Amino acid sequence: MSDTILEIEGLTKVYSGGVKALDSVDLEIKQGEIFALLGPNGAGKTTLIGAVCGLVRPTSGRIVAFGKDLATEWRGARARIGLVPQELSTDMFEPVKQAVAYSRGLFGLPPDDARIEEVLRSLNLWEKRDEKIMALSGGMKRRVLIAKAMAHEPDLLFLDEPTAGVDVELRKTMWAQIDAMRARGVTIILTTHYIEEAEEMADRVGIIRDGRILMVDDKSAMMARLGRTEAIIDLANPMTELPDAISRFPVSLESDGIQICYRGGDGTGKGKAEVADLTKALTGAGIDYVGIDIRDSSLEDIFVGLVERKEGEDA
Ligand SMILES: Nc1ncnc2c1ncn2[C@@H]1O[C@H](COP(=O)(O)OP(=O)(O)OP(=O)(O)O)[C@@H](O)[C@H]1O
Task: Kindly give the distance from the C-alpha atom of residue 21 to the centroid of ligand 1, in angstroms, as a whole number.
Answer: 6
pLDDT tens, residue by residue, 192-211: 877 777 878 899 999 898 99
Task: Kindly give the distance from the C-alpha atom of residue 42 to the centroid of ligand 1, in angstroms, as a whole number.
Answer: 5
For domain 228-296, which architecture applies? 2-Layer Sandwich (3.30)
Average pLDDT on 149-175 reads 82
pLDDT tens, residue by residue, 86-128: 776 667 888 888 888 877 766 667 788 898 999 899 888 999 9
- Residues 260 and 180: their CA atoms lie apart, in Å, by 46
Which atom in ligand 1 lies closest to the alpha carbon of residue 15? 4
ipTM, two decimals, is 0.96
Which atom in ligand 1 lies closest to the alpha carbon of residue 13? 12
Q: In this structure, are residues 173 and 5 in contact, taking their beta carbons and an 8 Å threshold? A: no
- Residues 84 and 105: their CA atoms lie apart, in Å, by 16
Q: In this structure, are residues 178 and 34 in contact, taking their beta carbons and an 8 Å threshold? A: yes
- The residue whose CA is least distant from atom 16 of ligand 1 is 44
Which atom in ligand 1 lies closest to the alpha carbon of residue 17? 4
Residues near ligand 1 with C-beta < 6 Å? Answer: 15, 17, 19, 21, 39, 41-47
Judged by average pLDDT, the poorest of 106-120, 170-184, 230-244, 301-315 is 301-315
Q: In this structure, are residues 51 and 22 in contact, taking their beta carbons and an 8 Å threshold? A: yes
For ligand 1, mutation pick of 12, 22, 45 (most atoms within 8 Å of CB): 45
On the question of pLDDT at 311 being above 70, the answer is no
- Residues 159 and 116: their CA atoms lie apart, in Å, by 19
Q: Domain spans of the chain?
A: 4-224, 228-296
- Find out if CATH 3.40.50.300 is the number for domain 4-224: yes
pLDDT tens, residue by residue, 203-253: 999 989 899 998 898 987 776 666 678 899 999 999 999 989 998 999 999
pLDDT at 1: 43
- The residue whose CA is least distant from atom 6 of ligand 1 is 15
Which pTM was predicted? 0.78
For ligand 1, mutation pick of 11, 13, 14, 15 (most atoms within 8 Å of CB): 15
Q: How far is the CA of 213 from the CAs of 7, 31, 307, in angstroms?
A: 14, 20, 11
Most confident residue range from 63-67, 121-125, 148-152, 270-274: 63-67
- The residue whose CA is least distant from atom 27 of ligand 1 is 41
Q: Cβ–Cβ contacts within 10 Å for residue 47, how many?
A: 22
- The residue whose CA is least distant from atom 1 of ligand 1 is 15
For residue 211, what are the β-bridge partners?
none
Main-chain phi, psi angles of 47, to 5 degrees: -65, -40
For residue 160, what are the β-bridge partners?
191
- Residues 7 and 52: their CA atoms lie apart, in Å, by 10
Q: In this structure, are residues 195 and 38 in contact, taking their beta carbons and an 8 Å threshold? A: yes
Q: How does residue 278 score in pLDDT terms, banded at 50, 70 and 90? A: very high
